Amino acid sequence: MTPAELRSRLADNLRAVEEHIAAACARSGRLRDDVTLVAVTKSVGVEIAAMLPELGVVDLGESRPQELWRKASALPTDVRWHLIGHLQRNKIEKTLPLVHLIHSVDSERLLGALDHEAGKLGRIASVLLEVKLSREAAKTGLPTDVLPAVVQRLPAFKNISVRGLMTMAALEGDPRATFAELRNWATRLSGPQSMSELSMGMTNDFEVAVEEGATLVRIGSALFEGLPES
Ligand SMILES: *Cc1c(COP(=O)(O)O)cnc(C)c1O
């Protein structure tokens, strides 16, 4: 495919995703502006990822820190990078200055390490708590039984701003119930720290997620269908 063909295919995919987001917003009485599309670029190379900001998508997500570093160094600096996968503590120093939002904080230990590093940088780290709502063994995140206690201790982390919650629905079963459960947790847990952001919904379930209140949808495959993988 030529660069023009790649761009045209990507633009078509994006238009289709946008139509589905808009329709889900309309069905649920929400404003399109209340939902941010985070394009998950993990399956494509820098060349295709770089076409997204040109098409108006400036929120990009990566699940692996090294890949985020690599793409961030090659793409325009006005891209807002979202880390959506596990962050090891030894990768915080290099990742924190590059990211707009970390969706995947899955332990109190990581919160502590992020707080420490953000303090050194003199900035506030914006994060979401990843919640494990599925019993699937592969799913990561904080179990709900520890969530209230972790949230109660958040004020101790002076350099962290927790904006909300993130989850992944199970591969099988009803994603709607999972997304509604995340929304209920956010309502229950909001206090001094508002839990207004809900990161939920991927290619297979983003419309349901929007209907259930997602403010951030993380979409990869639907955007890059028919395009070469990296
Ligand atoms: C890969 C990934 C996505 C995007 O998944 P698609 O099904 O390709 O849309 C979303 N969230 C997380 C955490 C991911 O790792």
Dump pLDDT digits (tens) for 106-143: 999 999 999 999 999 999 999 999 999 987 766 789 99
Nearest atom within ligand 1 for CA of residue 63 = 15
Q: What integer pLDDT is reported at residue 171 of this predicted model? A: 83
- Atom 10 of ligand 1, residue of closest alpha carbon: 218
The verdict on the CB of residue 218 being under 6 Å from ligand 1 is yes
Question: What HEC string does the chain produce?
Answer: CCHHHHHHHHHHHHHHHHHHHHHHHHHCCCCHHHCEEEEECCCCCHHHHCHHHHCCCCEEEECCHHHHHHHHHHCCCCCEEEECCCCCHHHHHHHHHHEEEEEEECCHHHHHHHHHHHHHHCCCEEEEEEEECCCCCCCCCEECCCHHHHHHCHHHCCCEEEEEEECCCCCCCCHHHHHHHHHHHHHHHCCCCCCCEEECCCCCCHHHHHHCCCCEEEECHHHHCCCCCC
Tens digit of each residue's pLDDT (9 = 90 or more) over 171-196: 888 899 999 999 999 999 998 778 99
Q: Which of 13, 38, 40 to mutate to test the pocket of ligand 1 (most atoms within 8 A of CB)?
A: 40
